[in-house]
Amino acid sequence: MPHRYKVREIAQQSGLSEATVDRVLNNRPGVRQNTIAEVNQAIADLDKQRAQLRLNGRRYLIDVVMQTPRRFSDAFRAAVEAELPAFAPAMVRARFHLWESGSAAQMAEALDGIRGSHGVVLKAQDDPDVAEAIDRLVQSGVPVVTYTTDVPASSRCGYVGIDNHGAGVTAAYLVEQWLAGSPSGVLITLSRTVFRGEGEREVGFRSALRSSGRTVVEVSDSDGIDATNERLVLEALEANPGVEAVYSVGGGNLATVAAFERIGRDCKVFIAHDLDADNRRLLREGRISAVLHIDLRADARLALRLILQERGALPVEPARPVPIQIITPYNLPVHY
């Protein structure tokens, strides 16, 4: 089967003879491993050069559509804008459609209203209306990448984000280590149960804690907005005096901390998600214990790359799972 590059091209790129390159490409015996590595590196370099030629002078307009608390959308917007120049010589621009609360029908309407887009990065509810709106976009030639929370029944071309079930299990492990022999119950706060990613985190957390016998008290439907979340958390704490730990799936952590302080109850362990400005300050002040964090710029870069791959502008590369970082007050990244 012919290779995508001529033997002569690979030989020129690698500095090896054409005969040596031919032996490597045809898996003939008697070739050293470092020679094989040199040929593979030359092919990878040629792929990059071809991608650069495809990108040269091209213009792409990407839409970022998210229903999420502003503190998170602000952080992700900054990450996207920081990564756009990395796709030079193409010119990639982004439009942002961001809001904190709304229905699946509103999300579907927003997706249907997108015009002139080369791709969409989407954080949305896992809902049939949303899945159908994604399908309509894809059918019109606009690839969609879901972010942090998936809509798997749709024809989106990829998902970017952590293993949410694994994140919940990790949170449960940390809670158990910190609580040790304490019989404390645990409060779990979600922004809204229609987000698949949050549901997966909750399932992982509950499953890992099942054998501990701890009470898990759920608060949801706050959209991660502080004012709503504080009222709901206060009600839950007053009704459950044995709760002295928190796993925050959906944010609103300033409000949750404030609710504990209002009733004069110590929080023995508080695990949160995402290193936004609020969580960074709470970590510095010692008011939350740890944050399960992901590199937003790496996420943004991968989401944009998946869209450009889908459009044939970049060579396809396997998407690697996004690792979870456990951030404490003592290892806060300096660039956040």
Whether residues 169 and 137 share a domain: the answer is no
Q: In what order do the strands lie in the sheet with 290-293?
A: 216-219, 185-189, 243-248, 269-273, 290-293, 325-327
Structure confidence at residue 31 (pLDDT): 84
Separation of alpha carbons 204 and 166, rounded Å: 6
310 falls within a domain? yes
173 falls within a domain? yes
Whether residues 70 and 135 share a domain: the answer is yes
195 falls within a domain? yes
Whether residues 67 and 105 share a domain: the answer is yes
Separation of alpha carbons 148 and 151, rounded Å: 10
Structure confidence at residue 141 (pLDDT): 96
Whether residues 183 and 126 share a domain: the answer is no
19 falls within a domain? yes
| Contact (Cβ atoms closer than 8 angstroms) between residue 110 and residue 97 | yes
Whether residues 197 and 278 share a domain: the answer is yes
Global pTM reads: 0.74
Strands 185-189, 216-219: pairing kind: parallel
Could you give the number of structural domains in the chain?
3
Separation of alpha carbons 260 and 233, rounded Å: 8
Whether residues 275 and 302 share a domain: the answer is no
Separation of alpha carbons 289 and 256, rounded Å: 13
Strands 290-293, 325-327: pairing kind: antiparallel
- The end-to-end CA distance of the chain, in Å, is 49
121 falls within a domain? yes
Write out the residue range of the structural domain in which residue 206 sits: 164-293
CA separation, residue 17 to residues 32, 80, 82, 238 (Å): 14, 43, 42, 77
Separation of alpha carbons 98 and 84, rounded Å: 18
Whether residues 180 and 252 share a domain: the answer is yes
Per-residue pLDDT of the chain (336 residues; tens, 9 = 90+): 467 788 888 888 778 888 888 888 888 888 888 888 888 888 887 777 666 556 666 788 999 999 988 888 998 999 999 998 888 777 888 999 999 888 999 999 999 999 999 999 999 999 999 999 999 999 999 999 999 999 999 999 999 988 899 999 999 999 999 998 899 999 999 887 778 888 999 999 999 999 888 999 999 887 767 778 889 999 999 999 999 999 999 888 999 999 999 999 999 999 999 888 899 999 999 999 999 998 899 999 999 999 999 988 887 877 777 788 999 999 988 765
67 falls within a domain? yes
Whether residues 65 and 142 share a domain: the answer is yes
Whether residues 142 and 245 share a domain: the answer is no
284 falls within a domain? yes
Whether residues 177 and 92 share a domain: the answer is no
Q: b/e string for 56-66 if b means 16 or more Cβ within 10 A?
A: eeeebebbbbb
CATH code for the domain of 105: 3.40.50.2300
SS3 state of residue 320:
coil
Structure confidence at residue 1 (pLDDT): 47
Residues contacting residue 3 through CB under 8 Å, at least 6 positions apart: 10, 25
Separation of alpha carbons 292 and 287, rounded Å: 15
Q: b/e string for 176-186 if b means 16 or more Cβ within 10 A?
A: bebbeeeebbb
Whether residues 305 and 260 share a domain: the answer is no
Whether residues 250 and 201 share a domain: the answer is yes
Structure confidence at residue 323 (pLDDT): 81
335 falls within a domain? no
